């Protein structure tokens, strides 16, 4: 009866011309909808006990529940423009218990949700607007030798100007000779079907929306791509503090927030100055670009015990660093993963379903297990190893329905 009343209320709201979002936001709180993809992946798995178990789970048609094990990486960017309202709503409906807002700042030092401070030329329509004249580097067409290029940063424009833009699927055509062709860079395994309306959000607006959707939040403080201190007075610590203060001002419990950074000093700042938030701070480990080898502990500086001694409780490397293959080409936990667990660190992996079909090895995110990967169904095999053998508490995914399905089948709720 309550659901009928709620539906009538939504219809009335629409009829009098108020925001349709009131109805759209009702669903994720009360129901989770997975769509066909998880079942496609199960059908594509190699025969074996895991496939059988997941098939049996799928056949039971039980109501799905959201799970903190399922983390929406930039929302649901496999099909929706990343870091947009539409992408976040899609992630929540697919059962993501936690959703990510990558955080950077504008010219007037307002925080906004973007994966990179300087990605507006590939993730928005800025080059088609008058704001293109404010970009750090204008559009330069392909000249037969040099690829087409541009550079447009959030720090080039104000928050008010940022809000006039529309999000699009991330991508650019390097052989483009016009702006219109440059913006047509969506990967073939993604889609532009839902890219006609990409509503950009400030960080504060993301807090309001995600709280409305009933999910936890994992903001990532992105590395500035302008000189810091910005304009001589906005320091890195000011930036890190501002992120936390916006949650405090919103009255959000620290238990609902998992602040992240690739910069260990950001994480240590939160631990030491905002300990209630810092105890859930996530150290994103990107040290592979600095020579870290997950098979060789001698390359881990600082090592796992030192990180734990700093007060770090959660470490989050790319998923390939957590797994390797044994002599029989089975996926197993890597030395890096075992050392993190032995040091008492919780582990989050990123990012499932990020780099396209697995038929040819899956790309960068699967580089350590290519001998064991040959079809899309192997996504679930890898996920099972991450959950059962590595012991991750959560997995970022570009399509949260997959991780939600697995979490429900294995009765994983994620870290409380």
Same domain, 297 and 370: yes
* 39, part of any domain: yes
> How many CA atoms does the CB half-sphere of 364 hold within 13 Å?
7
Q: Is residue 282 part of a domain?
A: yes
Q: Give the contacts of 9 (CB within 8 A, at least 6 positions apart).
A: none
One domain for residues 274 and 339: yes
249, two tokens? 């001002």
User: What local confidence, expressed as pLDDT, does residue 23 receive?
Assistant: 38
Question: What is the total count of domains within the chain?
Answer: 2
* Residue 317 and residue 207 share a domain: yes
Residues 263 and 325 both lie in one domain: yes
Please list the ranges in the chain whose pLDDT falls under 50.
1-29, 416
Task: Give me the residue label for tokens 């532009």.
Answer: 192
Residue 354 maps to a domain: yes
Whichever domain contains 109, its CATH number is 3.20.20.190
| Per-residue pLDDT at 126 | 98
| Residue 323 and residue 370 in one domain | yes
Per-residue model confidence (pLDDT) at position 22: 36
Return the closest-CA partner of residue 77 out of 55, 58, 99, 97: 99
Half-sphere exposure of 3 (CA within 13 A, CB side): 4
Whether residues 109 and 2 fall in one domain = no
6 with 73, same domain: the answer is: no
Is there a single domain that holds both residue 16 and residue 39?
no
| Alpha carbons 100 and 278: distance in angstroms, whole number | 17
Residue 176 forms part of a structural domain: no
Same domain flag for 5 and 62: no
Residue 134: predicted pLDDT: 98
Asked whether residue 193 is assigned to any structural domain, the reply reads no
Give me the domain span that covers residue 24.
1-28
Residues 11 and 99 in one domain: no
* Domain presence at residue 266: yes
> Is residue 147 situated within a structural domain?
no
My answer on whether 10 and 56 are in the same domain is no
- 158 in any annotated domain: no
Do 9 and 66 fall into the same domain?
Answer: no
Number of alpha carbons in the 13 Å side-chain half-sphere of residue 320: 21
pLDDT value of position 127? 98
């Amino acid at each position: 009866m309550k659901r009928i009343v709620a539906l009538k209320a939504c219809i009335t709201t629409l009829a009098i011309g108020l925001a349709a979002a009131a109805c759209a936001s009702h669903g994720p709180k009360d129901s989770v909808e997975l769509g066909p993809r998880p079942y496609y992946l199960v059908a594509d798995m190699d025969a074996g006990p895991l496939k059988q178990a997941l098939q049996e789970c799928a056949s039971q048609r039980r109501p799905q529940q959201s799970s903190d094990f399922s983390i929406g990486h930039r929302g649901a960017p496999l099909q929706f423009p990343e870091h947009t309202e539409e992408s976040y709503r899609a992630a929540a409906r697919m059962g993501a218990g936690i959703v990510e807002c990558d955080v950077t700042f504008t010219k007037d030092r307002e925080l906004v949700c973007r994966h990179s401070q300087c990605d507006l030329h590939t993730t928005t329509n800025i080059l088609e607007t008058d704001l293109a004249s404010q970009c750090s580097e204008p559009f330069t067409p392909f000249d037969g030798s040099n690829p087409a290029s541009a550079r447009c940063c959030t720090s080039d424009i104000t928050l008010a100007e940022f809000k006039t833009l529309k999000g699009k699927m991330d991508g650019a055509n390097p052989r483009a000779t016009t702006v219109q062709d440059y913006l047509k860079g969506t990967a073939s395994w993604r889609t532009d079907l839902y890219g006609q309306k990409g509503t950009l959000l400030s960080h504060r607006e993301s807090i309001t929306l995600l709280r409305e959707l009933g999910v936890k939040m994992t903001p990532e403080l992105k590395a500035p791509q302008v000189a810091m201190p910005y304009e001589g007075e906005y320091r890195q610590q000011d930036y890190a503090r501002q992120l936390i203060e916006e949650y405090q001002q919103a009255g959000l419990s620290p238990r609902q927030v998992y602040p992240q950074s690739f910069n260990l000093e950001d994480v240590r700042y939160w631990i030491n100055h905002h300990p209630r938030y810092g105890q859930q701070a996530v150290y994103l480990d990107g040290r592979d670009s600095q020579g870290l080898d997950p098979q060789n502990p001698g390359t881990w500086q600082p090592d796992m015990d030192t990180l734990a001694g700093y007060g770090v409780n959660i470490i989050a490397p790319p998923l390939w660093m957590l797994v390797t293959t044994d002599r029989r080409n089975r996926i197993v936990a890597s030395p890096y993963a075992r050392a993190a667990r032995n040091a008492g660190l919780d582990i989050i992996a990123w990012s499932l379903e990020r780099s396209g079909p697995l038929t040819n090895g899956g790309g960068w995110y699967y580089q350590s297990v290519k001998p064991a990967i040959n079809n899309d169904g192997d996504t679930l095999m890898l996920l099972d190893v991450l959950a059962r053998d590595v012991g991750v508490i959560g997995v970022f995914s570009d399509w949260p329905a997959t991780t939600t399905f697995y979490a429900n089948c294995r009765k994983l709720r994620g870290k409380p």
